[in-house]
Structures are given as structure tokens and as C-alpha cells.
């Protein structure tokens, strides 16, 4: 007989089985502030999950929250489709003048529906329209979303099997960490070999650091080679910045470190500032071949998210978040290398900025999940990534204090010791 915990009964009885995160983190959440989640009993949990990358600036960030409250208090328009609003104008001006121009980036901005997968759908739809080709190159290990176009790019078998249809018009390329050969040269051969059976793509889509794929930062040299490959072959380069943008890797845009520019890039999650749904698709002006209404969405005019997004950009700049992330990254890497890696010689780690992975794949397939559960029991929320969920993914708020960061890392270390001793 299956007994339902009374405090979760309404969810067990009425919510779909598709729910997932609540199965790893079985608490009923009531509040959240800064780096902490708080359950209905008042127990605090350090958050190294960060809303899957949607809360880079922490829970209920005071600066961002104040801007939202003030906007609502004056009855600022909330929903406006794609009509002109003051909130939209202020966000665009801030993004253009304080972010794009400062980096020498000249891009048009598009507001698709307000989630990451919507931004990806718009990007690949535009790429195909511009180039008149159906195929897209995507990397094995990549995650780009759960709607059908984005899911065709995504390689996770579990997610793909749920689609109920054929996911086509995508050629998956081995990621550079997978095999001992030059993946850029491999793509060259696909195009040059008249017996490869592969159509020239409209675009190549990448995450400069694969997040859900197991936290794999790609080298600057490889990223430059990819940019050159796309330029030479008239292929659009799309960068998926949805989880790794907004300073997560140390620069506001993850591609900045390689001194490259994509043709199209996608943003969502933390571009919404405080967890509000918001997405943008950016592209070079010459690619703006859309006809009015060819791609739309009812909630692409979510002004409250635009207010929060502008405030988050101001907060990020005023508090030098990029520099802070780079500083904290050195501390995290040193801690993992000196305190966690010696626990077992089979452990591996990878990361950049404030996204890091501890890889248990050479121990066994269940170890990372066991550590995830042990961390939760000790007051830390942390997620898994990679093949067979063998990677413990560290993704704290960028605003986390030094003491909180150390506390979370100590919990991880002690959780691993506990699991290894079983």
C-alpha cells in the first residue's frame, strides 16, 4: 500500500506525474531570500540550484523587488502583447546602452514567448528562414528545451522519448570532449564529402559551456575555430545563453571570453531578474527578415519582467557581479581541488565562473544521486546533470556571500564522505 504524506497529498492526488524537482527536494516551500529557501516549518536550505539558473541575483533581491513593487503600485501596465510601452523602452535602452554597446555588439532584439525554449524556437526558425535550409547542427550533450523544435536539438534520450513524434532536421555532432578527434574538422568533412549524407545546415547551435550535459566549458580556441568554420561556410552560429548567460560564467555573455560574436543568441532564465518568465532572441540586424506577425506569442509583452530585467542589469553593473563571480570561481575551484578531489581518486571536476560539476561517473551511476539526497538532508538544495545524472552540479546565486559559499561546499564535502563510507 502507498501512503501519501499528508502535507503533500494535494500534489500527489491532483498534480500530474510529470513533476520532477519535488521528488529530489521533498519539502513544501514557503519563503526564499538571498541564498536560502525556507520551508513551511521555517527550516532554511542553502540554494545551489538557483531555479535552474533563473535566480542569479538571489531570491527576492531587494533592488529588483523594489522596482517591481513600485511599478505595480502605480498601476503600470502588465500585459501588452508586442505594443509599445515605457517599460519595454526602458529595458531596451538599458540593454542597448549599458550592455551591448559597451561590448561592441550590434544586435536587434526580439521578444518571443517568455521561456528559454521559446527563444530557441524563434532562433532556429529565423535561421532556416534566412538561409533557406532545413538542417541544424547541434552538439551531443546539449540541452536546448522541451518544445519540439528545441527538443530536436536536445540529445537527452529520456526527454526525446517522450515527444511522441519524429524529431528531425538536426544533425548531432560529437562534443569536443567526447572523442579524441577534431570536431570542427569532422564538421568540415561532413560538408565537403559528397557521400556524407548530411545536408548543409542553416545554423550551428552551441552552449559555450554545456550545463545539463555535465558542466563542460569549451576552450576559447575551440570556440574561435567554430566561429571561423561558420563564417567560411555561410552557416549561422547560435549561442544558447539561457542558463550560462547573465554573468554565470564570469562575463555577462558566456561567449565573451573567446572574443567571438555569434550571429544569433538566446537568453531567458536570469534575464528576468528575479525569477519572472522572460526571454529574448538577439540577432544581427541583417538577419531581421521577419514579416509582421510571422512569429508571436501572447505573453511576449510581460512588462513586469521587463521592469525586473532592467533592474537586474543595473544591479549587476553597480555591484560588479562579473568580477565577483571570477573571484568566487577561484575559491570554488581551489576548495574542490584541495578538499573534495582527495576524497576519492576516481572523482573528476569541471567548471567555470559559478557553475561547477563534480563527476562520479567513474565510481558508479547512483553515487551523484545519493550525494544529492544527502546534501538535501543536511540543508543544501543541489541538482544533477550529465549522462546518467552522474554529475553533481553546483550553481549558487552569484550574490552568495563568502561564508555561505564555504558552508555549501562543506556540506557537499561531508555528504560525499558520508556516501563513500556506506
Domains for the chain: give ranges and CATH numbers.
64-318 (3.40.640.10), 320-420 (3.90.1150.10)
3-state secondary structure the chain: CCCCCHHHHHHHHHCCCCCCHHHHCCCCEEEEEECEEEECCCCEEEECCHHHHCCCCCECCHHHHHHHHHHHHCCCCCECCCCCCHHHHHHHHHHHHHHHHHHCCCCEEECCCCCHHHHHHHHHHHHHHHHCCCCEEEECCCCCCCCHHHHHHCCCHHHHHCCCCCCCCEEEECCCCCCCCCHHHHHHHHHHCCCCCCCCCCEEEECCEECCCCCEECCHHHHHHHHHHHHHCCCEEEEECCCCCCCCCCCCCHHHHHCCCCCEEEECHHHHCCCCCCCEEEECHHHCCCCCCCCCCCCCCEHHHHHHHHHHHHHHHHCCHHHHHHHHHHHHHHHHHHHHHHHCCCCEEEEECCEEEEECCCCCCCHHHHHHHHHHHCCEECEEECHHHCEEEECCCCCCCHHHHHHHHHHHHHHHHHHHCC
User: Rounded mean pLDDT of 121-139?
Assistant: 98
Question: Where residue 369 falls among pLDDT bands split at 50, 70, 90?
Answer: very high
Residue 3 has pLDDT above 80, yes or no: no
The whole-number average pLDDT for the span 181-193 is 96
> If pLDDT is split at 50, 70 and 90, which confidence band does 6 have?
confident
Query: pLDDT tens digit string along 200-231?
Result: 999 999 999 999 999 999 999 999 999 999 99
What is the pLDDT of the chain when averaged over all its residues? 96
User: For residue 4, what pLDDT band results from cuts at 50, 70 and 90?
Assistant: low
State the pLDDT at residue 8.
87
pLDDT at residue 357 above 60? yes
| Residue range 379-397: mean pLDDT, rounded | 98
Amino acid at each position: 500500500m502507498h501512503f501519501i504524506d499528508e502535507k503533500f497529498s494535494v500534489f500527489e492526488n491532483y498534480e500530474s506525474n510529470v513533476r520532477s524537482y519535488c521528488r529530489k527536494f521533498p519539502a513544501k516551500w514557503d519563503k526564499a531570500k538571498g541564498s536560502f529557501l525556507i520551508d513551511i516549518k521555517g527550516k532554511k536550505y542553502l540554494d545551489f540550484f538557483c531555479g535552474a539558473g533563473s535566480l542569479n541575483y538571489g531570491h527576492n533581491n531587494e533592488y529588483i523587488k523594489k522596482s517591481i513593487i513600485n511599478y505595480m503600485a502605480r498601476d503600470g501596465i502588465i500585459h501588452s502583447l508586442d505594443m509599445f510601452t515605457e517599460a519595454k523602452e526602458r529595458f531596451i535602452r538599458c540593454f542597448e546602452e549599458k550592455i551591448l554597446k559597451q561590448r561592441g555588439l550590434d544586435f536587434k532584439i526580439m521578444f518571443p514567448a517568455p521561456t528559454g525554449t521559446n527563444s530557441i524556437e524563434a532562433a532556429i526558425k529565423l535561421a532556416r528562414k534566412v538561409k533557406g535550409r532545413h538542417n541544424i547542427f547541434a552538439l551531443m550533450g546539449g540541452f536546448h528545451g522541451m518544445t519540439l523544435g528545441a527538443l530536436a536539438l536536445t540529445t537527452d534520450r529520456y526527454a526525446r522519448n517522450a515527444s511522441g513524434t519524429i524529431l528531425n532536421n538536426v544533425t548531432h555532432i560529437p562534443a569536443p570532449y567526447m572523442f579524441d578527434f577534431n570536431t570542427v574538422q569532422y564538421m568540415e568533412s561532413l560538408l565537403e564529402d559528397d557521400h556524407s549524407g548530411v545536408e548543409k545546415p542553416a545554423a550551428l547551435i552551441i552552449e559555450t559551456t554545456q550545463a545539463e550535459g555535465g558542466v563542460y566549458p569549451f576552450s576559447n580556441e575551440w570556440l574561435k575555430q567554430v566561429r571561423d568554420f561558420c563564417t567560411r561556410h555561410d552557416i549561422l552560429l547560435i549561442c544558447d545563453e539561457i542558463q550560462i548567460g547573465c554573468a554565470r560564467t564570469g562575463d555577462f555573455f558566456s561567449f565573451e571570453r573567446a572574443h567571438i560574436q555569434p550571429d544569433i543568441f538566446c537568453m531567458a532564465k536570469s534575464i528576468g531578474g528575479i525569477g519572472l518568465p522572460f526571454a529574448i532572441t538577439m540577432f544581427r540586424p541583417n538577419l531581421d527578415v521577419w514579416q509582421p506577425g510571422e512569429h508571436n506569442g501572447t505573453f511576449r509583452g510581460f512588462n513586469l519582467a521587463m521592469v525586473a530585467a532592467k533592474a537586474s542589469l543595473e544591479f549587476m553593473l553597480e555591484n560588479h557581479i562579473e568580477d565577483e563571480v571570477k573571484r568566487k570561481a577561484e575559491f570554488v575551484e581551489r576548495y574542490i581541488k584541495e578538499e573534495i578531489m582527495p576524497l576519492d581518486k576516481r572523482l573528476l571536476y569541471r567548471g567555470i565562473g559559478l557553475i561547477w560539476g563534480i563527476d562520479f561517473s567513474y565510481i558508479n551511476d547512483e553515487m551523484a544521486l545519493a550525494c544529492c539526497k544527502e546534501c538535501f538532508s543536511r540543508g543544501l538544495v543541489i541538482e544533477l546533470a550529465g549522462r546518467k545524472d552522474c554529475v553533481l552540479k553546483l550553481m549558487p546565486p552569484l550574490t552568495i556571500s563568502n561564508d555561505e559559499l564555504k558552508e555549501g561546499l562543506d556540506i557537499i564535502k561531508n555528504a560525499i564522505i558520508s556516501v563513500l563510507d556506506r
